[in-house]
Amino acid sequence: MSANKGKAFDKSMKLLMVGDSGVGKSCLLLRFVDDKFNPSFITTIGIDFKIKTIDQDGRKIKLQIWDTAGQERFRTITTAYYRGAMGIIIVYDVTDHNTFDRVETWYKTVQQHAKDDAQVIIVGNKCDEEDSRMVSTQEGEELANRLNVPFIEASAKNGLNVSEVFYKLSKLILEKSGDDFQSNGDNGDNVDIKNGNSKSSSGSASNCC
């Protein structure tokens, strides 16, 4: 996780975070990349992204992580970003059962738009808020088992299991694809991050995490 010297990275992975608005996707990403937490994080408008290089199984892996807006009005925009994603993180809020109920809908969208070999993980965020919990860990595990994907609960607020989410997903991608994806360079399907309309960082305040 420390700064790497020499060549920048051995592998590049494009990851995508999806889920309903307010479940804490942006806060999870902020915690992972910058180790920060903002309880009144700005709602993502369209698409945003962050980049972090990690050490995984002796390799330097550059993660390009795209954070999508959960609002319905942005759904047609964000579906274009499924193309080329090697890993997809479906996030729900353990204190809001409605967001959990929509996980299967998100999974179906992933199946429809992502590549067949894209790795998926389900994340129940805000697990620190036990007094407000509406979705049990067992419910999350049962859904993940039914969909045959990994599951983990995390908290962007206190950092619990946040790094584990991204390390687990990148490990799954490495195990699945081996050396099949491009080495020491970006995936050819990545959206041009220099394009000014590829991300936005303004919007209304939301207690996202």
In a domain, 2, yes or no: no
Quote the domain boundaries for residue 116.
11-180
Q: In the chain, how many domains are there?
A: 1
Pairing of strands 151-153, 87-93: unpaired
The string of pLDDT tens digits covering residues 153-190 is 999 999 999 999 999 999 999 998 765 554 444 444 44
CATH number at residue 47: 3.40.50.300
Q: What is the dihedral of CA 131, 135, 140, 143, to 10 degrees?
A: 180
Q: Is residue 129 part of a domain?
A: yes
Type of residue at 203 = G
* Per-residue model confidence as pLDDT tens digits over 100-141: 999 999 999 999 999 999 999 999 999 999 999 999 999 999
pLDDT digits 0-9 by tens, 24-56? 999 999 999 999 998 765 554 446 789 999 999
Report pLDDT for 188.
41
Residue 15: inside a domain: yes
pTM: 0.81
In a domain, 128, yes or no: yes
On whether residue 21 sits in a domain, the answer given is: yes
Alpha-carbon span 187 to 137, nearest angstrom: 35
Domain assignment of residue 126, yes or no: yes
Q: Is residue 207 part of a domain?
A: no
Q: Is residue 64 part of a domain?
A: yes
